[in-house]
Every structure is written in C-alpha cells, then in structure tokens.
Amino acid sequence: MTRPDTATKLATDVSTMFDEVSPRYDLINDVLTVGNDRLWRIATTKAVAPRKGMRILDLAAGTGTSAAALAAHGARVVAADFSEGMLAEGRRRHAGNDLLEFVWADAMDLPFEDDSFDAATISYGLRNVSDPKRAIAEMRRVVKPGGRVVIAEFSTPPSSAVRVPYGLYGRYVLPRVAGLINREASEAYRYLNESIEQWPSQEELAAWLREAGLERVAYRNLTFGIVALHRGFVPRASKATVSAAATAAAAATPEAGETKSVPAKKAASAKKPAAAKSLRLRKSLRLRRNPQRARRPRRSRRPRRSRRQARRLRRSGSREGIRLDEEACCRIDQGRLHRLHCGEDACRGQGHRRPCGEAGRLCQARR
C-alpha cells in the first residue's frame, strides 16, 4: 500500500493510494462513520441547492456518490477526480445516468473555462491537495458570478469532550477497522487520520475562502464539529464591474475626427413615470377645489368592544353604562326600551328573550 507523505502530499502518491482502496471505499466510509456520512451528504446537497438546468462541478468526486445526489435534483454534474481507479469505479456504478460526466482533473489546475459552472463543491478532498488555497482559487475561477462554492471537510471539534475521544478513535480504531474490511486500506486510513489532525480550524478555512475573493462566507459544524460545512459566493459585480469600466473607458475616448456630444440637462432615466405625475396632478386639483380637505382632522373611531364585553353587557341588561332594572323594563311605561310593547307579566328572565304577546314574538331590550 502506498502511503503518501502528509507534508508533501504528492498527487501521484495520493491518487495511487485511492486507486487501491476504490472498490470498497464507500463501504469503509459507511462503517467508520456509523452511517453519518449519508447525513453529511444530505447537508452538503442542501448547501449547494442544485436545480434543474444547473451545471455543477463536484471536485474529488471519487466514485460519484455525492455527484449522484446532486444529479438527483435534475442538475448536470461533472464529477472530477485525479484517481483513475475512483473514476473507473464511478463510471461502472453510474453507467445509466446521463446527468453525470466523469472527468480526470487536477484540483490545482482545472481543465475548465472561466465562469463555466453554476456551483462547485468538494467533499473530504481538499486536505489531500498539496496547495489547498490554489484549489479554492481555481474553484472560484470556474464558477459564474453569483454562484456558490461549498466545501465539506473533516475538522476539529470545538469541545474537548468530543475532541479527545474522536482523536483516539481516529488514531487507533479507524485504521484497524478499515484493515479488517480491506487489508490494503489500513495504511491509507492512517494517512487520512494524520491529514485530519494537521488540517486547520474552521475559522482559518473560512479566512482562506475570503482571501480567494469569495463573499458571504459562513460555516456550519456537523456532528459536534467532526465535519465542517463551508460556503461562499462569487461576487456578482467582480467581473461585471471590470467589463463595465472597460466599456465606459472606450466610450469616453473619442476616435479621430469625432467630437463628444453634450449631455442633456436631465437624463431620460431621471424622468419620473407618467403615472406618478398624473397622481400628483389629481391630488393637487382635489386640494384646490376643497382647501379645507388637507386641514380637516381625522375623526377618531370609537373603539370596538370585545366579544366578552358585549356578552357582559347583554347579561347585565345595561346600555352605554346605564343599568336597566329588569322589572322596570318589563312594564308598559318602560316599553320604549323594547322593540315591541308587552304586558307586565309577558316578559320574564334576564335578557328578555322569552316569547310574549299573542303573536309569540321575542321581546328584547335594545342594545
């Protein structure tokens, strides 16, 4: 088994190592992460936000597991890797997927044109690059203005309660379990654990993204910080500003025999819309016809009663705070408080809702 040096990380050594572990690479990851790699993949896919019609670069794609998750949303994905063994395994597994394209590529010198992808992502492969800052700059170069760069990478848990047992697990348990599944994978996972221990913190990686020219850089810890998900956006005005400045400079330099045209006092774009002018005109005409309109104070509205207050007023038989005697309101001389005049013994009970008179109508006090 070829074990790369963590100080140099030569591309040939790293690619050879992954060629040897490619057949059972995904199985080993599922076992060693206890299935958490599937949850991390879901979080990475949500951060990339793939849509139908997008073209996405999945760098260090390996066997194409993460690229297939992006393609499931309808995006066209270019799965790039520098391990021919990984690419061959990925082409075999996803032979019927027309949205996937497997390409050999070096992360520090991508064979793609500028602004050729809507987004770029790399999962657990940036620490295997000898110059990760250069790889980030290359990802920014190939992504269109406004696109996003997403990096999922093993990191350092911020809590010592997780960091210490996690370090012991990666140093002693991880290589042995990998060796049981694949004898040739033991040394490979010793190298992977050493590369994780030497990898910078979340804040330092975020600073690298800002140095590369990305904006709105943020990161999120997954599984207590064992994995960190970083995201940054390519500025929209970065390349558009340069082209606009070049166009303005070309327009400002007149050719031989040409003279500059004197600009008008008011540009056409500064003119107000006709709808706004007509609205202002109608308001001014209304004020001229009725000059007291603008000075007229607004009448204060009487506050509405709540349902509970109205229910209490009905039960107490009161109106506007004046309490009505139940016996008095049933008499003929107090009949003006009723919608129908009734006899002395015709109305009984609070609320005056019992039928009275020969017609059997309801006798109710006005509210």
pLDDT reported for residue 277: 59
Domains annotated on the chain, with CATH = 11-238 (3.40.50.150), 311-362 (no CATH)
pLDDT reported for residue 364: 47
pLDDT reported for residue 187: 74
pLDDT reported for residue 291: 55
Q: What is the dihedral of CA 247, 253, 257, 263, to 10 degrees?
A: 80
Residue 246: CA atoms inside 13 Å, Cβ hemisphere, count? 5
C-alpha 128/C-alpha 151 separation (Å) is 13
pLDDT reported for residue 92: 93
pLDDT reported for residue 227: 95
pLDDT reported for residue 21: 73
Nearest alpha-carbon partner for 140 in 224, 211, 89: 211
Backbone angles phi, psi at 46, to 5 degrees: -65, -35
pLDDT in tens, the chain (367 residues): 555 555 566 667 777 777 777 777 778 788 888 889 999 999 999 999 999 999 999 999 999 999 999 999 999 999 999 999 999 999 999 999 999 999 999 999 999 999 999 999 999 999 989 999 999 999 999 999 999 999 999 998 999 999 999 989 888 888 888 778 777 677 777 888 888 889 999 999 999 999 999 999 999 999 999 999 999 999 997 444 544 544 554 555 444 444 444 344 444 444 445 656 566 666 666 655 555 555 555 555 555 666 777 677 666 554 444 344 444 444 443 444 444 444 444 444 444 444 444 333 444 444 3
pLDDT reported for residue 296: 57
With contact defined as beta carbons under 8 Å apart, do 29 and 178 qualify?
no
> Residue 222: which residues within 8 A CB-CB, separation 6 or more?
39, 40, 43, 228, 229
